[in-house]
Structure 1
Amino acid sequence: MWDQITQLIQQVTQQSVVNNPAVPNEHNESVIAEAKNTITQTLSDLTASGRADEAAEVVQNPNHPVAQQMESNFAGNIMQKFGINGAAASGIAATLIPTILNALRGGTGGNGSAFNIQSLLSSLGGSGGGNLQSTLSGFGVKLGLDKDGDGDVDLNDLTKMFK
């Protein structure tokens, strides 16, 4: 799934990033990685907080307020991190984020194979998969944060930390 997202982003970023004179060549890969991080982090945050339906809405509707926020965050990040001017960063974000969301919505990955949005959301921690939540809990257990010994890190563990 992640390979498909990466391939998809690589395909749609060619014109907006690689062939864009406003993006210094040495920053092409970093700008592309920032686009992937912005999208996956936003969708991951939504699904991990139990808002998988809203994450699906974001993919379905590029005019969704969260999609608009993604554009704004991405533009701000590439301005700050890579010195891209505001107009160019906004233009890149306004093209790139909706194009990637549209490709996700279109149902195919970068290699032409079927792209299942529910599988994507599940892999980000939504209903059905819970991989992100399990991974984070696993890290907590390894770090000794599982104070009640039940194999996960949750509010009960936090409460026990302060007793």
Structure 2
Amino acid sequence: MLEVLQGLIQQHGQSAVINNPDVPNEHNEGVMGEVMQGLLGGLSNQATSQGGLGSLIGLLGGAAGNNGGSLMSNPIVGSIAQSVVGNLMEKFGLSNSAAAGVVGNMLPSVLGNLIQKTNDPNDDSIDLGGLMGTITGGKTSGIDFGSILSQGTAALADGKLDMNDLMNIAGNAMGSQNQQGGGGLGGLLGGLFSGK
């Protein structure tokens, strides 16, 4: 998974960073690394925050991967972008406009391609289970994210993911969790929301 993400960072960093006169050449690798770290860190924080996993599943399973512009209006992506802009300014001395330009050019493209690859059945370079395992540091083992994603996207058909949707998804996923020694619905929900 990390290799796929690094490849996307390198691909989209060519014009956003390397060919960008606002980014000094000696900072090219560091700036691209900071975008990657910020993206992974932001997704990880979302996955382990109270109620954040449902929103993350909605993001990673959404059709927004085909439209980079709509990704920047997503609150998760907006929060990641704000954090990365601040880090680029602090660590590399970039101006606000230069840092925002780098993030605005790279983040939606990288994340959009990552979402596309994750949801493409013909692309076996990455799947939701591997992506979620990387994002959460393996704290969600035993959860079938492929099944949860398909249920999550169906639940999002009305434009929102509420507690009833989460309970239905968790209840359906509980069978696999129980077979692996999980603590029933409470254990599954506790694992989903606590990040353990």
**Same structural fold, with TM-score higher than 0.5 when normalized by the shorter chain:** yes
Structure 2: how far apart are the matches of 1:129 and 1:35? 30
Are 2:108 and 1:98 equivalent residues in the alignment?
Answer: yes
Cα contact 2:22–2:94 (8 A) shared by 1: yes
User: Aligned pairs, how many?
Assistant: 127
The residue matched to 1:115 in structure 2 has which SS? coil
Q: Which residue of 1 aligns with 2:153?
A: none
**2:125 maps to amino acid:** A
Report the Cα distance in structure 2 between the residues aligned to 1:23 and 1:31, rounded to whole angstroms: 8
1:58 aligns with 2:68: no
Identity over aligned residues, as a percent?
30
Alignment root-mean-square deviation, CA:
2.1
Q: Is the 8 A contact 1:13 1:32 kept in 2?
A: yes
Structure 1 unpaired stretches of 5+: 131-163
Q: Which moved more, 1:87-96 or 1:16-25?
A: 87-96
User: Which residue identity is paired with 1:116?
Assistant: D
Confirm or deny: 8 A CA contact 2:12 2:110 kept in the other structure. yes
Residue 142 of structure 1: aligned partner = none
In structure 2, distance between residues paired with 1:56 and 1:7:
23
The 1-side partners of 2:36 and 2:142 are apart by 20
Q: Tell me how far 1:33 sits from its aligned partner.
A: 0.6
Q: CA deviation digits over 1:93-136, x for unaligned, max 9?
A: 1111111111111116xxx7532133201232263369xxxxxx
CA 1:113 to 1:18, structure 2 compared with 1: closer, same or farther past 3 Å?
Answer: farther
Letter in 1 for 2:88: I
Question: Which residue number corresponds to residue 138 of structure 1?
Answer: none
**Counterpart residue type for residue 123 of structure 1:** T
More deviation in 114-123 or 28-37?
Answer: 114-123
Change (3 A) 1:31 1:128: same
TM-score w.r.t. structure 1 length? 0.69
Specify which structure has the higher proportion of helix.
2
Q: Call closer, same or farther: CA 1:44–1:129 in 2, change over 3 Å.
A: farther
SS in 2 for 1:90: helix
**4+ residue runs over 4 A deviation:** none
Task: Determine the structure 1 residue equivalent to 2:128.
Answer: 117
CA distance in 2, matches of 1:81, 1:31: 9
TM-score by length of 2: 0.58
Against the structure 1 CA distance between its residues 129 and 92, is the aligned structure 2 distance closer, same or farther, given a 3 Å change threshold?
Answer: farther
CA distance in 2, matches of 1:128, 1:54: 19
